[in-house]
Amino acid sequence: MKAYHELEAIFRRRGVLGGVQSLLHWDTAVNMPDGAATVRGEQLAALKVLQHELITDPRVGALIEAAAGVDGLDPWQRANLRKMRRRWLHATAVDPTLIEAETRAATECEMIWRGARKDADFARVAPALTILVERVRETAARKADALGVSPYEALLDQYEPGLATARIDTLFADLEAFLPDFLERALAHQNRRPPAVAPTGHFPVEKQRALGVRFMQALGFDFEGGRLDISHHPFCSGVPEDIRITTRYDEADFTSALMGVLHETGHALYEKGLPEVWRNQPVGGAVGMAVHESQSLLIEMQACRSRPFLDYAAPLMREAFGGHGPDWEPENLFRLYTHVARSFIRVDADEVTYPAHVILRDRLERDLIAGRLAVADIPAAWNDGMGAILGIVPANDAEGCLQDIHWYSGGFGYFPTYTLGALAAAQLFQAACRTVPAIPAAIGRGDFGPLIAWLRHHVHAKGSLHDTDGLLREATGEPLGASAFKAHLASRYLA
């Protein structure tokens, strides 16, 4: 047990440094002046190297081998050791020089992307992205050798441990076979109903924020241990005791920012509910990004775009903005929040078309990492892909390949987890409502207690004791699949 406890001490320190890194990333997005990008890159790189040095100390490999031979480890400790070994394999595959180079390249590329996105000018960021992609390819190749997988699977493994491209292909093929016909049926059904009308007016940021805070509090977000701020791209960051949420506001339309806040609150509730006794240990963290995304989508899509929620929320929206008339009625707001359309922006896409956005990005980034797609050719490939998969072509790069931060901050291998998370969200919500039938009615009263309690017990408190399929089997009776998601879409968009 001595070897195991030494490993816990090492990984605890590494976890604390990771928390500092997360808060620096938040500051980069929220507060940092553009001129500080270079020094921030140095700071982040130094933190990454420190974490890398901790885990790549030659003693760590020996301690892992020694701990593996111990018979007295309980299931949580055994799972923690498996997670430690996986992180050790990732870390020892890459030397500090490459880590530092990739981190600097990612920070500089992200800062250039901010201006390029604003001006719809991909050419401006292409040189920096080319350098970053080269660093990512090198990292992927080294990790692939260590893990015995393909380079792209090595990147996937950073976000969803053990995920194989074959599994993604199976699930995505199921969706690709289902969605085109379903989209046409959903659009036809939508056209038979009165059109959704967006409330018009001026919606000041401070009033939007106050409304968002009100719903965050209803969900159980703890503002004594968290914040809500503004950034270019909404995200949730920080540590369980200090959670940072960001969104972006449009004073002509409050609906998008509100759902963004609710989405990120789902992430925050998951982080807050992770097992405190295992804080800063690998097993105490999220299973992977698919489950993490399932928690945000479950709150946003399953709960907060539902008729019961909008029955509760509509009067509060009218009160917040002084609205009146049929545009503010729950049924119109429901049609608005479940409106289906072929659109360009992923974060604003509806549930039916969203998987198409993810499938396109998955294909393009696989080609980028494999060297089949050059950085300079991304805009054309993106536009061709959008035309093929959704039948629309962006008017400019801001509507197209510049819209997401992920690639420009080095986040390759992340996109598939969004749609895997949507599948898991539907599966978990279905199981929660089957087990606790009162959940929808409680949501209609603004009471999220029954839903959150179920998630705390079946998802949050489990940490990384199981992998994604293991967690879903225990919580829902089935591994990850698409059937619950397809049933959810049918009940919401064809009923």
Q: Hey, which residues are catalytic here?
A: 264
Per-residue b/e over 412-448, b at no fewer than 16 CB within 10 Å? bbbbbbbbbbbbbbbbbbbbbbeeeeebbebbbebeb
Number of CB atoms found within 10 A of residue 115's CB: 12
What are the distances in angstroms from CA 461 to CA 112, 290, 291? 39, 16, 13
What are the distances in angstroms from CA 494 to CA 74, 183, 487? 48, 10, 10
Burial classification of residue 230, based on how many CB atoms lie within 10 Å of its CB (0-12 exposed, 13-18 middle, 19 or more buried):
middle
- The C-alpha atoms of residue 455 and residue 475 are separated, in whole angstroms, by 9
Beta bridge pairs of residue 351: none
Kindly state the tokens that stand for 405.
Answer: 């931060």
Phi-psi region at 338: left, alpha or beta (left = phi > 0; alpha = psi -120 to 50)? alpha
Q: What are phi and psi of 227, to 5 degrees?
A: -140, 160
What are the distances in angstroms from CA 291 to CA 131, 269, 334, 411, 422? 31, 12, 26, 17, 9
- The C-alpha atoms of residue 183 and residue 169 are separated, in whole angstroms, by 20
